């Protein structure tokens, strides 16, 4: 079968142009990602070795999906393609090459929490005011220096940067950056930005290494190229320099990461970098209805800084875009949940046809509550990652320390957890002793009697001996045995087991889940090295979405617009379309910021295939106070002929500008409503389900005879029905639909379940 038949002529031409530089700048839904996918399959069919192909995607999930599609065409060879995010691919390369640039191969990856914790410690040591030197600000400044390839030394010599810091009242910024970099180095750790920064250092300083990878990666492809930063741009440019078989695809109208240093110029300058580039235009949108495509075009037309593009759809006209107004965020949630039920029934759609998109993570709460009330199963993307939970991080810190005892953030995290009588004063003493002697913390800990006295010397000494014993186990045992040994002997399992609160139980279950994951990893056949340090390597790079156990589950998707990039759903709800929320209050200072918000709106709108719903609330709790809200200017900017307003059209006038006059009408009404006492709202940010109070005398019963269809009660999740059982004893997984929470998958041997 000619699989290229699934492409239109321009897409096909781009796929077949395998040699030389290629660029596709095209609107949303025009098949850019599809071109990359087909291109890779085509290359492999043309007998290019998959090991020679490098594909950089924006999320791990996108890479996984692409790989699966390619597998359908070329079979299991697709496993050998180098495909993933910039961070995961270059972490993998650094694992091989780190020693060249003075890092151990098993360097730790510091996640955002580790970075902030280290920065806080440095600020404290330097006696700096952490209001002025706000840790997020400091982090952002260092991050942007790294993404622009400015080393600490260069930063401190750069008059312009230093002057800027002085003007902002933060003259010590350069020194903080210097100390931070030294401390990461001492700890054998790289933060997220280092993964790119150090890759650049490596490729710049070691021509033979650069040569090796230039010849390995004969074909390079980058999706979402508009969101690459300078550091990423330079890596790609260096790697592609020999063969110049580089294909980048992107859409300047979807550049939404400038706040993280992404540089739209990379796409605009591509032609300068590669003068003989072949440019392909894709103009047909295959994703959305005419109404949605035209509405999206009408939004982006408001941006001054835009490449001319002509995007059209040959799909049906489709429904108008529904605009709903609610009195509060809770009511907005209710409207959305009811619309989902209605549309699901009317059009026989599965839940996974629906997505709810919002500007900020905090907005998910009201949505989740309403979905739960109507028993609508949902999945929250990009929420706190499983690997970010405290108990998971604690245990992982022990793992990290076992393989890299110099990892200072891990050391500080667990030196006294579970409690073993090593107080803050002792930890301070260790830090001071290390700094004074230019030692690493671990050198002090491992030689505690030289630096500490009495009881603290003994406790710290015991801790060091324990870690050393973990190292011995780690060298000789499988990942799972090592992990289990550490969980038991560190005291973590016992500590959590003894905590009988609902939260304690959940934490214990999470640890079990982590251990199960490690067991699965130990048993995998597709990887050679299965020791715990290999499992550990990329844990810091995993997000909630990568931990998705059941990607085909029938659930409504909830995520921020940033996280929705590249995805598509039949029905999309964009909620919270209010001034100061979307566009964000923080983005109203300049045209360029406002234009980025508008691009974000464009991204959101173009996720929808068949039907788009917009909504806003006229009042919303933010930061604990109730605010009146105005509808977003973005609604006004949409050509009204595509809209279907769900409120009284008579107050809004008959035609263009309808929305504006309506706004005035409802504002007066609202004001009256709010002269009354404010409703009391219990603020909660927890996304966890409310604890289920078990019926009297809860005792898990024998579930070995559990069958599909049976009714069960879970200690925390409440009543539910078994919808599926899979796997073999003792690892049977049950999928249960809980009345209050929707679908969940549980490992039977750990589940606190009772047959009712």
State the binding site for ATP. 26-33
List of residues 6+ apart from 525 with CB closer than 8 A = none
Query: Of ligand ATP, Mg ion, none, which one sits near residue 251, judging by CB under 5 to 8 A according to partner kind?
Result: ligand ATP
In whole angstroms, the minimum distance from the beta carbon of 65 to Mg ion comes to 11
Give every CB contact of residue 12 below 8 A, 6+ residues apart in sequence.
4
Cβ nearer to ligand ATP, comparing 61 with 287: 287
- CA angle, 707 then 709 then 711, to 5°: 90
The one catalytic residue in 59, 214, 228, 254 is: 254
Partner from Mg ion, ligand ATP, none contacting 286, C-beta within 5 to 8 A by type: ligand ATP
Question: Binding of ligand ATP at residue 599 (CB under 6 A)?
Answer: no
Comparison of 147 and 254: residue with beta carbon closer to ligand ATP: 254
Residue with smaller CB distance to ligand ATP, 60 or 606:
606
CA distance 474 to 482: 5
DSSP H helices in 171-316: 173-186, 192-205, 207-216, 230-240, 265-268, 270-273, 290-300
Interface with Mg ion by CB under 5 A: which range of 530-538, 565-573, 614-622, 748-756?
A: 565-573
Q: Is 56 in the site for ligand ATP (CB under 6 A)?
A: no
Residues listed for the chain: 756
6 binds ligand ATP, rule: CB under 6 A = yes
Nearer to ligand ATP, 25 or 203 (CB): 25
Residue 104 or 382 with smaller CB distance to Mg ion: 382
| List 10, 21, 32, 638, residue binding ligand ATP (CB under 6 A) | 32
- Residue 221 CB, nearest approach to Mg ion (Å): 12
Query: Is 124 part of the annotated catalytic residue set?
Result: no
- Distance between CA atoms of residues 309 and 279, nearest Å: 13
User: Which residues does the annotation place in the binding site?
Assistant: 26-33
- Counting contacts by CB under 6 A, is residue 716 touching ligand ATP? no
**Could you give the CA distance from residue 37 to residue 68 in angstroms, rounded to a whole number?**
10
Residue 333 touching ligand ATP (CB under 6 A): no
| 57 in active site | no
CA distances from 369 to 352, 366, 502, 613, 724 (A): 18, 5, 20, 19, 26
The residue with tokens 């406790």 is 459
Pick the stretch among 25-33, 38-46, 345-353, 644-652 that binds Mg ion (CB under 5 A).
25-33
Contact status: 753 vs ligand ATP (CB under 6 A): no
Has 32 been annotated as catalytic?
yes
DSSP annotation of 727: S
Q: Nearest 5°: phi and psi at 610? A: -110, -40
Output the smallest distance, CB 581 to ligand ATP, in A: 23
Q: By Cβ distance, which residue is nearest to ligand ATP?
A: 31
Q: Which does 84 bind (CB under 5 to 8 A by kind): ligand ATP, Mg ion, none?
A: none
Q: Tell me if residue 11 is catalytic.
A: no
CA pair distance 459, 451, nearest whole angstrom? 13
Query: Rounded distance, CA 66 to CA 57, Å?
Result: 9
Tokens of 696: 């009297």
Q: What dihedral do alpha carbons 540, 541, 545, 548 form, nearest 10°?
A: -70
Residues sharing a CB contact under 8 Å with residue 46, sequence separation 6 or more, in sequence order: 18
Active-site residue (options: 111, 114, 194, 224): 224
Q: 53-57 and 82-85: which strand pairing?
A: parallel
Interface residue with ligand ATP among 15, 25, 31, 255 (CB under 6 A) is 31
33 contributes a contact to Mg ion by CB under 5 A:
yes
Helix %, strand %, coil % of the chain (to 5): 50, 15, 35
- When asked if residue 566 is in the footprint of Mg ion (CB under 5 A), the reply is yes
Q: Is 29 in the site for ligand ATP (CB under 6 A)?
A: yes
- Give me the least distance between CB of 291 and ligand ATP, in Å please: 17
Closest contact distance (angstroms) between CB of 249 and ligand ATP is: 7
Segment interacting with ligand ATP, rule: CB under 6 A, options 4-12, 355-363, 453-461, 700-708: 4-12
The DSSP annotation for 613-674 comes to EEEEESEEEETTEEEE-PBPHHHHHS-GGGEEE-S-GGGG-SSTTHHHHHHHHHHHHHHHHT
Active-site residue, 254 included: yes
Catalytic residue (choose from 352, 413, 607, 633): 607
For residues 736 and 733, give the distance between their C-alpha atoms in angstroms, rounded to a whole number: 10
722 neighbors 710 (Cβ within 8 angstroms): yes
CA separation for the pair 573, 76 (Å, rounded): 37
Q: Report in angstroms how near the CB of residue 566 gets to Mg ion at its nearest.
A: 4
Q: Which of residues 225-284 bind ligand ATP (CB under 6 A)?
A: 251, 254
Q: Which is nearer to ligand ATP, 250 or 377 (CB)?
A: 250
Active site residue 153: no
Which of 10, 21, 25, 34 binds ligand ATP (CB under 6 A)? It is: 34
User: What are the catalytic residues?
Assistant: 32-33, 223-224, 254, 607
Q: Interface residues with ligand ATP (CB under 6 A)?
A: 6-8, 11, 28-34, 251, 254, 286-287, 566, 568, 606
Q: Interface residues with Mg ion (CB under 5 A)?
A: 32-33, 566
């Amino acid at each position: 079968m000619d699989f290229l038949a699934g492409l239109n002529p321009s897409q096909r031409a781009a796929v077949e142009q395998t040699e030389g530089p290629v660029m596709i700048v095209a609107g949303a839904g025009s098949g850019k990602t599809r071109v990359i996918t087909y291109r890779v399959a085509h290359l492999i069919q043309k007998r290019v070795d998959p090991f020679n192909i490098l594909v950089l995607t924006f999320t791990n999930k996108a890479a996984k999906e692409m790989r699966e599609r390619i597998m359908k065409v070329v079979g299991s060879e697709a496993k050998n393609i180098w495909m993933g995010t910039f961070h995961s691919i270059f972490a993998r390369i650094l694992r091989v090459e780190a020693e060249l640039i003075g890092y151990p191969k098993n360097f730790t990856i510091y996640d955002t929490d580790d970075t902030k914790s280290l920065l806080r410690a440095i600020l404290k040591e330097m006696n700096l005011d952490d209001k002025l030197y706000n840790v997020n600000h400091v982090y952002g400044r260092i991050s942007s220096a790294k993404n622009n390839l400015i080393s600490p030394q260069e930063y401190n010599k750069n008059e312009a940067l230093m002057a800027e810091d002085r003007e902002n009242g933060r003259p010590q910024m350069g020194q903080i950056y210097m100390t931070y970099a030294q401390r990461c180095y001492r700890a054998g750790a790289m933060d997220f930005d280092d993964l790119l920064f150090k890759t650049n250092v490596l490729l710049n300083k070691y021509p033979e290494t650069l040569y090796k990878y230039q010849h390995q990666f004969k074909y390079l492809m980058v999706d979402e190229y508009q969101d690459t930063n300078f550091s990423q741009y330079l890596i790609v440019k260096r790697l592609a320099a020999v063969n110049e078989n580089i294909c980048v695809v992107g859409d300047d109208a979807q550049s939404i990461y400038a706040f993280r240093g992404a540089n739209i110029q990379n796409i605009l300058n591509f032609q300068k970098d590669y003068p003989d580039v072949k440019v392909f235009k894709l103009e047909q949108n295959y994703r959305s209805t005419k109404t949605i495509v035209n509405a999206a075009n009408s939004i982006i037309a408001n941006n001054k800084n835009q490449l001319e593009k002509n995007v059209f759809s040959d799909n049906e006209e489709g429904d108008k875009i529904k605009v709903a107004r609610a009195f509060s965020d809770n009511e907005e949630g209710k409207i959305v949940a009811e619309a989902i039920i209605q549309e699901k029934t009317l059009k026989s759609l599965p839940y996974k046809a629906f997505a709810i998109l919002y500007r900020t993570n905090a907005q998910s709460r009201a949505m989740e509550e309403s979905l739960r009330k109507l028993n609508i199963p949902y999945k929250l993307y990009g929420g706190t990652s499983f690997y970010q939970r405290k108990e998971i991080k604690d245990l992982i810190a022990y793992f990290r320390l076992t393989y890299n005892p110099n990892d200072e953030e891990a050391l500080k995290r667990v030196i006294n957890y579970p409690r073993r009588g090593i107080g803050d004063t002792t930890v301070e003493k260790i830090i001071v002793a290390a700094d004074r002697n230019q030692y690493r913390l671990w050198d002090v800990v491992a030689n505690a009697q030289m630096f500490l006295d009495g009881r603290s010397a003994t406790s710290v000494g015991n801790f060091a001996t324990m870690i050393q014993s973990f190292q011995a186990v780690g060298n000789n045992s499988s990942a799972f045995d090592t992990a289990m040994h550490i969980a038991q002997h560190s005291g973590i399992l016992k500590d959590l087991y003894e905590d009988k609160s609902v939260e304690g139980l959940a934490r214990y279950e999470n640890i079990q889940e982590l251990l199960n994951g490690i067991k699965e990893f130990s048993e995998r056949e597709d990887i050679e090295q299965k020791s715990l340090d290999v499992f550990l390597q990329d844990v810091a790079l995993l997000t909630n979405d990568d931990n998705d156990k059941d990607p085909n589950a029938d659930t409504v998707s909830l995520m921020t617009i940033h996280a929705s990039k590249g995805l598509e759903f039949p029905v999309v709800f964009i909620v919270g379309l209010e001034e100061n929320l979307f566009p964000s209050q923080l983005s109203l200072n300049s045209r360029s910021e406002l234009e980025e918000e508008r691009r974000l709106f464009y991204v959101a709108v173009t996720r929808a295939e068949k039907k788009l719903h917009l909504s806003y609330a006229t009042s919303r709790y933010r930061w604990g106070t109730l605010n009146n809200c105005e509808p977003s200017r973005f609604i006004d900017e949409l050509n009204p002929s595509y809209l279907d307003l769900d409120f009284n059209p008579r107050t809004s006038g008959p035609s263009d500008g309808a929305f504006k006059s309506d706004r005035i009408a409802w504002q007066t009404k609202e004001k009256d409503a709010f002269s009354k006492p404010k409703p009391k709202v219990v603020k909660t940010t927890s996304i966890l389900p409310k604890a289920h109070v078990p019926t009297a005398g809860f005792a898990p019963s024998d579930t070995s005879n559990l069958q599909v269809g049976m009714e069960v009660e879970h200690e925390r999740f409440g009543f539910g029905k078994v919808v599926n059982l899979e796997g073999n004893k003792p690892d049977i997984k049950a999928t249960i639909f809980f009345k209050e929470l929707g679908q969940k998958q549980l490992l039977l041997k750990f589940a606190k379940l009772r047959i009712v």
